């Protein structure tokens, strides 16, 4: 092991020995993100790939498993030790007492636990004495060198004895020691005895759980010839005449198969099965087995120490005596001050009372070898002072004192006459002599005092709180919710920061302690009620009104609600009374209200429930609420649950029958958490709320927690439910399911009492989820059935077989595969076409011909539906493809990764697959084909060369009379055949067998305002479980100008809760968007939106979409005029089909409900049957604010004010657009061209004519070239303008002057010209939701309930509450402050940022956006603050793909998703939204982004000119070239 040659701390020394001597080290840490003194070294060793002496891993590096201290860490040792792994644990002493049940079971396994005693500056040795009878061997070290040597001793002893060893030490005792040399690895190897190690690793111990072998005892097997001379057959002792036989022959038939673990040399029985050891012995002696005894331990440890002495010259004995051989007095020290006492005695003057005294310490503390102690103590010793550093004594006498009394007083021959116990406190260096004088004066007195305290029992004054019991950051979410709901009523009985004098954090955080605290609290209130009753009958109150109120309260204490209602009046009257008794009662004024009492615990409470405090709380029937937070990530559930036997507390409590139970997850449903906690508080009896908050480390981002939560809830691992046994009395169901899937154990419980049937009746849409169990075996069965179904279809056909597999993200590889399959059938081949993930890999060696088409995702990765196949084949050494003919076609983009170091990502999946299949023996039908998006015909160029080679290899290349292939179905075909957007949407909605709709209907529903999506966070996990993707729908409203009434806001809020994912998105198109609407709720959601007098028609699709308008809060009259034009344009360009009303708005009699008039017509006077070639967007900006990005739209209207101050008309820009395809230079963003001025009376007509020219001249063959921007560039601006004017019959006037000053919102309060007030809220990335930290959604709803003013949505995804009178202002401000909505004190960078939705719902997303941009900004705000730019606005935008929903191409700095975690970086956009930016760096990750941005921001702060914006600055300094028009967007880019 290559390591540093010097060691300076005891923890480093111990960590190194544990690393060298283990297969697995369980590193117990205060938190996942906080290293212990051991783990920092362990991680360094592992990071350098340093090899262990014994680790049987492939690379020789031991495993390191990090476990939080409060997660029952010793459970992690059971499974590996049973499977032949040498396990060690590094921990502080804080876990020991709570781990007693596990220690008893582990004691007979060769596990080593290294314990650093805590607190670090004044350790409590009671952690050791409390567990001294657990069956472990205990070794104690004091110096740095001893820590290293005894750590090695512990590992060797565990291996030899088959028993657990605890090595404990106080690291502070050796803090001043000189550095030592690392122990030589050869010495470690010789002391451990590698033969014994390998014998143990070669087998396993029986039993599958920690409860399987509770009675297991470590035993020793020996030959009868040496039964009386045990030491002669022990490993490491020189006598070697004992026979070494195969272990299965040594074992007695009567001996348990799992009886022990031990040495093959010594002949002790091991559970290693069927392994033989080589020996020179030629005879066989009969063997016997017996338990390992204390004498055996002594023999083993002395043999180890003898070998250690031989190797390194250092000597150890079970008890260490230092001092004169003729001393009469001695100290026996069990604490951390041995060194300073010994030095003081050595330096003592002859006249000192403690001069010439001896010092005794225990190296081998357990087993307690009294006879060896007697041997170690000089016969001259008459008086012995025992110093024990035991801070939590459970008996009057210290445990060491009792050991010594039983040993020395009972020993023959007299010797020690006086043994006096002392309680050792903290000894400061300057008080050592004083302490020694006190001890020896007491010891030599005629009547010495037992249990005399020496030193400061409270420890040093600067003693710090034990950090290990700090609450993980992420777990504070539920604490905040409890505080929000109950406020001053909340009482946390076992809060981690409570001041429980004299009680250790370990004890005070247990359910038992908390329950006792609550019972005491209840009794306290009862006494308080008695005091109140006494006060009402006395004359000590000054105020008669106070006495009457107190009397009313006292008679209402049985009615919690009434008592709480009276509480405020009572408290006020007592404060006014001012008497002595009033002041006494007010000292406990919280007891006037019914408290909401809670115990808060972790998932550690879920182990061994029958013996835990949880059981006792539930069984008590007391009105106690328990909140139990489970932090096990879904991704780690299998490993954790299989070994650790964690039980379901919710099910346990429901089975008990008398408790309210809820299962909640704040990152899944905040509302359900609130509901459950309120119901738990109202329930009269025990309540259990199990709360999910998964995290890998305490500083995990909310995104990580969210993703893990979603998987767990969606797949039924963590179902959301509420169980109220009292509901039955009210005629309501006991069980309420708040998520869609439940796990088998919960289903079984519900089925017992027919709850499952009732649940299915209440939620028929969930029935398929509730009645099935899923697993990997289901997925395998699905694959097999699919393949067999194909085979059955092909039976009887002639021709060679051809299997075609595909992996596809965007559909190109899938389309090619299906077309290839059809062409193969036309040539007489028996073709099968399927996704790679659906193919049963075991069939691969039996294929005759197989071709695979794969696109390229991410950084040269397989698409999602090809990863499982690749993972199974890439390292497979068992597949034999010698009889398989294959070929691979890969689709990619040679310019997608432009940097030289990234070039190898081009078509990497296809190239890798071709290589691996050839290595497995496959024969190529044709060399790998490479499709390149940069070729003239894209990937088709390479494909057209590759496909004929396949037909040629299969001998079907010269087939004549092949039928003509039908052209592929395009969006234009779908629209034309849809009967004015009807398609088969109605039938698809009625199909309950799937959560999806057909591909063609997915295109049509866009016109109705909804997209089908699936949750990409859950794709892989659902696929593994045999489930279809988590399909849901996004709904977007059509809301011209973005104005909503308060009532409409509440209705939208209701829709998000009832039908969506409990959040709303305010979009960059100034409207509401809902996510997570499942198909069964889609129609109800649509009706709810229309009931609110809104609609969703034409919010998406190839039509004119939502018309935007500047919010302009300071010019309300002018805004109202412009807003009226946006409504007029929107209504004028609305599609005329009645399909929307037919599909979504039928009444109960299945008749059409007419919302917008009575006329029914099935033609489109503006659009025609195929509508527009692509989407069409219109926006209006009101100078000086370009807050709607007027240059970015198909039509941008700039409002022009007349001389009278009224709206006169608009400058009309045309041809703006944002959508781009990465590395496709034929696609680019474009800013609108100014066609001229149009009056307000004619503006809707002018917009119509622009749209009609696009309808008739736009590209309907290539959707990537179909937007108006390309039509204008193809035609030329002048020609296009002429076409518009020709249709219109009028000419555009000359454009009027205007000026923009910004394109961001102005936050905070503003007044308009009428004196009305407007407040702009900062809504980060437009997401309206409640979190534990910020109940934004609830707050906005409460403000809307006041029914004041109106709500304006901005184009930057923010919100304005408008038209608030001065009279209503205080009430609004009070409500805003209550819900923290008045905070706009964010950095200018954050206030100017914007992001699209991206993951998890957008199917086009390549990277995170909305969920990541806030994190990135946080990491940049430090440099912003340092350079005095907190208030400076820099427009930063992020999108998950290049389609441009957040309009990134106009931002001063933008990040556009390229692959997961990788972004293209763009610089140089105009601050007013008037100039496009340009690519600066391609495919960079967070570290590179920060490396670029931090120094750049600093340089900007130092070198900018007055008033110079960031986008202008980067152009001026030559960092990026200016983009002058869309067609030059790809010129002069970075790399």
Active site residue 1396: yes
Edge-to-edge order in the sheet of strand 735-737: 490-492, 596-602, 625-630, 687-692, 660-665, 721-723, 735-737
**CB within 8 A of 356, min separation 6: which ones?**
323, 324, 327, 329, 348, 350
Length of the chain as a residue count: 1535
Q: How many CB atoms lie within 10 A of CB 384?
A: 24
Active site residue 783: no
Q: Which candidate in 1177, 1230, 1269, 1478 is catalytic?
A: 1177
Evaluate the omega torsion of the peptide bond into residue 1314 and state whether it is cis, within 30 degrees of 0. Answer: no
Active site residue 1402: yes
Six-digit token string for 59: 């690379």
Q: Which candidate in 85, 647, 975, 1105 is catalytic?
A: 1105
Please report which helix (H) or strand (E) contains residue 852, including its range. Answer: strand 849-855
907 phi and psi angles, rounded to 5 deg: 55, 30
Q: Which candidate in 593, 1006, 1083, 1175 is catalytic?
A: 1175
Give the span between the Cα atoms of 329 and 323, in whole angstroms.
Answer: 10
Give the span between the Cα atoms of 1232 and 1239, in whole angstroms.
Answer: 19
Residue 575 DSSP label: H
Give the span between the Cα atoms of 597 and 602, in whole angstroms.
Answer: 17
Q: Which candidate in 182, 363, 1445, 1478 is catalytic?
A: 1445
**Maximum Cα–Cα distance for the chain, whole Å?**
128
Active site residue 1105: yes
User: 286 near 223, Cβ under 8 Å?
Assistant: yes
Tokens 């004015």 — which residue?
980
DSSP per residue, 1075-1090: EEE-HHHHHHHHHHHH
Tokens 């030599």 — which residue?
444
Q: Which candidate in 366, 1069, 1441, 1478 is catalytic?
A: 1441
DSSP per residue, 744-789: HHHHHHHHHTTHHHHHHHH-GGGHHHHT----HHHHHHHHHHHHHH
User: CA torsion 1260→1266→1267→1270, rounded to 10°?
Assistant: -120
Give the span between the Cα atoms of 1035 and 1025, in whole angstroms.
Answer: 28
Give the span between the Cα atoms of 199 and 274, in whole angstroms.
Answer: 10
Active site residue 1037: no
Give the span between the Cα atoms of 521 and 513, in whole angstroms.
Answer: 12
User: 345 near 357, Cβ under 8 Å?
Assistant: yes
Active site residue 1125: no
DSSP per residue, 94-145: GGTGGGHHHHHHHTTS--EEEEE-SSTTS--THHHHTTTTSS-EEEEE-SHH
Q: Which candidate in 82, 747, 1396, 1481 is catalytic?
A: 1396
Nearest Cα residue to 1196 out of 1119, 1268, 1255? 1268
Active site residue 1120: no
**CB within 8 A of 395, min separation 6: which ones?**
402
Helix (H, G, I), strand (E, B) or coil at 855: strand
Give the span between the Cα atoms of 1272 and 1277, in whole angstroms.
Answer: 6
Q: Which residues of 1370-1380 are buried (b: 16+ CB within 10 A; e: fewer)?
A: eebbebbeebe
Active site residue 1177: yes
Q: Which candidate in 1402, 1411, 1475, 1481 is catalytic?
A: 1402
User: 1271 near 1259, Cβ under 8 Å?
Assistant: yes
CA 615-618-624 angle, 5° bins: 130
Q: How many CB atoms lie within 10 A of CB 636?
A: 12
User: 42 near 55, Cβ under 8 Å?
Assistant: no
Q: Which candidate in 787, 1006, 1036, 1437 is catalytic?
A: 1036
- For 1311, counting Cβ atoms within 10 Å of its Cβ (0-12 exposed, 13-18 middle, 19+ buried), the class is middle
Q: Which are the catalytic amino acids? A: 1036, 1105, 1175, 1177, 1396, 1402, 1441, 1445
């Amino acid at each position: 092991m290559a390591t540093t040659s010097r060691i300076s701390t005891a923890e480093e020394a111990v960590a190194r020995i544990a690393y060298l001597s283990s297969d697995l080290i369980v590193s117990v840490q205060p938190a996942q993100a906080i290293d212990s003194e051991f783990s920092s070294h362990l991680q360094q060793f592992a990071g350098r790939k340093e090899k262990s002496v014994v680790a049987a891993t492939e690379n020789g590096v031991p495993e390191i498993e990090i476990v939080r201290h409060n997660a029952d860490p010793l459970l992690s040792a059971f499974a590996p030790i049973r499977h032949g792994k040498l396990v060690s644990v590094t921990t502080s002493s804080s876990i020991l007492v709570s781990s007693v049940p596990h220690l008893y079971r582990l004691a007979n396994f060769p596990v080593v636990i290294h314990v650093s005693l805590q607190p670090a500056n004044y350790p409590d040795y009671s952690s050791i004495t409390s567990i001294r009878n657990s069956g472990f061997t205990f070794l104690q070290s004091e110096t740095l060198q001893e820590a290293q040597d005894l750590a090695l001793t512990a590992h060797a002893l565990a291996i030899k004895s088959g028993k657990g060893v605890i090595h404990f030490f106080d690291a502070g005792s050796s803090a001043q020691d000189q550095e030592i040399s690392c122990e030589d690895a050869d010495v470690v190897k010789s002391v451990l005895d590698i033969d014994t190690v390998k014998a143990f690793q070669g087998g396993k111990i029986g039993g599958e759980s920690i409860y399987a072998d509770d009675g297991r005892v470590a035993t020793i097997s020996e030959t009868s010839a040496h039964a009386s001379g045990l030491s002669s057959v022990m490993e490491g002792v020189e006598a070697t005449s004992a026979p070494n036989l195969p272990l299965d022959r040594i074992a007695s038939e009567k001996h348990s198969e799992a009886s022990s673990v031990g040495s093959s040399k010594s002949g002790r029985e091991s559970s290693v099965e069927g392994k033989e050891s080589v020996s020179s012995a030629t005879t066989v002696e009969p063997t016997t087995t017996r338990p390992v005894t204390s004498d055996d331990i002594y023999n083993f440890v002395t043999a180890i120490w003898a070998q250690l002495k031989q190797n390194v010259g250092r000597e150890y004995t079970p008890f260490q005596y230092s001092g004169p051989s003729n001393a009469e007095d001695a100290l026996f020290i069990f604490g951390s001050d041995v060194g300073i006492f010994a030095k003081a005695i050595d330096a003592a003057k002859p006249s000192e009372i403690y001069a010439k005294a001896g010092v005794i310490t225990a190296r081998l503390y357990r087993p307690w070898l009294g006879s060896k102690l007697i041997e170690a103590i000089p016969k001259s010793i008459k008086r012995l002072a025992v110093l024990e550093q035991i801070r939590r004594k459970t008996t009057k006498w210290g445990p060491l004192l009792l050991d010594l009394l039983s040993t020395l007083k009972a020993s023959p021959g007299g010797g020690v006459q006086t043994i006096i116990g002392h309680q050792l406190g903290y000894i400061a260096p300057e008080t050592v002599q004083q302490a020694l004088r006190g001890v020896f004066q007491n010891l030599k007195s005629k009547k010495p005092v037992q249990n005399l305290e020496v030193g400061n029992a409270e420890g040093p004054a600067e003693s710090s709180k034990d950090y290990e019991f700090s609450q993980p950051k992420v777990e504070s979410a539920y604490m905040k919710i409890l505080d929000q709901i109950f406020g001053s009523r909340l009482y946390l009985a076992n809060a981690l920061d409570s001041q429980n004098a004299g009680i250790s954090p370990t004890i005070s955080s247990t359910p038992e302690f908390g329950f006792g605290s609550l019972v005491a609290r209840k009794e306290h209130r009862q006494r308080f009620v008695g005091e109140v009753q006494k006060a009402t009958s006395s004359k000590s109150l000054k105020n008669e009104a106070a006495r009457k109120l107190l009397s009313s309260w006292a008679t209402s204490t049985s009615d919690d609600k009434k008592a709480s209602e009276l509480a405020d009046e009572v408290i006020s009257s007592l404060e006014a009374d001012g008497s002595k008794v009033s002041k006494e009662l007010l000292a406990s004024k919280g007891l006037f209200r019914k408290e909401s009492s809670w115990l808060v615990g972790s998932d550690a409470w879920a182990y061994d429930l029958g013996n835990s405090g949880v059981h006792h709380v539930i069984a008590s029937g007391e009105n106690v609420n328990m909140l139990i937070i489970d932090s096990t990530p879904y991704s780690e559930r299998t490993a954790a649950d299989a070994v650790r036997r964690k039980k379901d507390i919710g099910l346990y409590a429901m089975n008990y029958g008398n408790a309210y139970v809820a299962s909640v997850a704040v990152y899944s449903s905040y509302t359900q958490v609130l509901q459950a906690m309120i119901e738990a508080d109202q329930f009269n009896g025990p309540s259990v709320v199990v709360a999910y908050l998964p995290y890998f480390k305490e500083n995990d981002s909310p995104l990580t927690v969210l993703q893990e939560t979603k998987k767990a809830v969606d797949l039924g691992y963590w179902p959301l439910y509420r169980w109220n046994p009292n509901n039955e009395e009210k005629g309501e169901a006991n069980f309420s399911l708040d998520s869609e899937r439940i796990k088998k154990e919960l289903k079984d419980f519900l089925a017992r009492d027919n709850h499952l049937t009732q649940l299915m009746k209440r939620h028929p849409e969930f029935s398929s989820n509730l009645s099935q169990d899923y697993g990997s075996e289901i997925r395998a069965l699905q694959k097999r059935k699919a393949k067999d179904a194909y085979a059955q279809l092909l039976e009887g056909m002639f021709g060679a077989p051809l299997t075609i597999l595909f992996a596809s993200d965007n559909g190109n590889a899938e389309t090619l595969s299906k077309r290839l399959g059809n062409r193969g059938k036309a040539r007489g081949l028996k073709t099968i076409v399927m996704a790679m993930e659906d193919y049963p890999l075991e069939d691969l060696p039996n294929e005759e011909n197989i071709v695979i088409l794969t696109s390229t995702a991410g950084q040269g990765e397989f698409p999602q539906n090809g990863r499982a196949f690749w993972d199974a084949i890439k390292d497979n050494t068992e597949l034999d493809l010698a009889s398989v003919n294959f070929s691979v076609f890969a689709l990619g983009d040679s310019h997608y990764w432009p940097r030289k170091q990234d070039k190898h990502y081009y078509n990497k999946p296809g190239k890798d697959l071709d290589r691996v299949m050839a290595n497995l023996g496959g024969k190529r039908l044709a060399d790998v084909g490479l499709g390149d998006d940069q070729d003239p015909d894209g990937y088709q160029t390479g494909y057209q060369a590759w496909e004929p080679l396949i037909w040629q290899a299969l001998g079907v290349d010269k087939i004549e009379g092949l039928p003509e292939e039908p052209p592929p179905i395009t969006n234009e075909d779908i629209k034309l055949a849809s009967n004015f957007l009807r398609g088969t949407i109605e039938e698809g909605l009625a199909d309950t067998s799937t959560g999806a709709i057909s591909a063609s209907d997915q295109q049509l529903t866009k016109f109705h305002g909804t997209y089908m999506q699936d949750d990409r966070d859950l794709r892989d996990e659902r696929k593994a479980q045999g489930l279809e993707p988590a399909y849901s729908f996004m709904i977007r409203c059509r809301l011209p100008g973005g104005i909503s009434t308060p009532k409409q806001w509440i209705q939208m809020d209701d829709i998000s809760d009832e039908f969506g994912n409990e959040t709303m998105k305010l979009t960059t198109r100034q409207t509401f968007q809902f996510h997570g609407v499942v198909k069964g709720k889609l129609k109800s959601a649509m009706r709810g939106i229309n009931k609110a007098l809104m609609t969703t028609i034409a919010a998406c699709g190839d039509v004119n979409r939502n018309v935007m308008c500047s919010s302009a809060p300071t010019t309300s009259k002018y805004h109202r005029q412009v807003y009226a034009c946006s409504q007029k344009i929107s209504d004028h360009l609305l599609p005329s089909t009645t399909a929307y009303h037919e599909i979504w708005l039928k009444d109960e009699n299945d008749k059409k409900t007419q919302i917008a008039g009575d006329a029914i017509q099935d033609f489109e006077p503006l659009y025609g049957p195929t509508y527009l070639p692509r989407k069409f967007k219109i926006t209006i900006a009101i100078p000086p604010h370009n807050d709607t990005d007027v240059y970015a739209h198909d039509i941008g209207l700039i409002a022009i004010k007349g001389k009278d101050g009224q709206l006169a008309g608009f400058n009309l820009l045309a041809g703006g657009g944002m959508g781009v395809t990465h590395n496709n230079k034929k696609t680019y963003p474009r800013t609108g061209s100014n066609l001229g001025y149009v009056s307000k009376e004619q503006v809707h007509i002018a917009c119509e004519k622009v749209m009609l020219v696009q309808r008739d001249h736009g590209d309907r063959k290539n959707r990537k070239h179909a937007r108006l921007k390309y039509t204008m560039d193809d035609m030329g601006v002048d020609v296009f303008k002429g076409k518009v004017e020709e249709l219109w019959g009028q000419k555009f006037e000359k454009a009027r002057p205007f000026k923009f000053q910004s394109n961001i919102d102005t936050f905070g309060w503003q007044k308009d010209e009428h004196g009305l007030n407007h407040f702009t809220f900062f809504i980060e990335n437009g997401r309206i939701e409640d979190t534990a930290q910020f109940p934004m959604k609830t707050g906005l709803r409460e403000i809307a309930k006041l029914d004041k003013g109106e709500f304006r949505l901005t184009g930057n995804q923010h919100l304005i509450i408008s038209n608030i009178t001065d009279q209503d202002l205080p009430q609004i401000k009070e409500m805003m402050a209550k819900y923290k909505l008045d905070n706009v004190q964010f950095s200018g960078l954050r206030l100017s940022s914007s992001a699209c939705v991206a993951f998890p719902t957008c199917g086009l997303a390549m990277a995170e956006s909305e969920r990541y941009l806030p994190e990135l900004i946080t990491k940049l705000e430090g440099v912003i603050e340092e350079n005095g730019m907190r208030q400076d606005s820099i427009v930063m935008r992020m999108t998950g793909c290049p389609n441009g929903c957040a309009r990134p191409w106009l931002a001063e700095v933008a990040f556009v998703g390229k692959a997961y975690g990788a972004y293209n970086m763009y610089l140089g956009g105009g601050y007013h939204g008037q100039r496009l930016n340009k690519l600066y760096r391609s495919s960079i990750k967070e570290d590179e982004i920060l490396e670029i941005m931090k120094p750049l921001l600093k340089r900007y702060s130092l070198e900018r000119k007055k008033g110079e914006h960031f986008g202008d600055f980067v152009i001026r300094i030559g960092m990026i070239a200016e983009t002058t028009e869309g067609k030059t967007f790809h010129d002069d880019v970075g790399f």
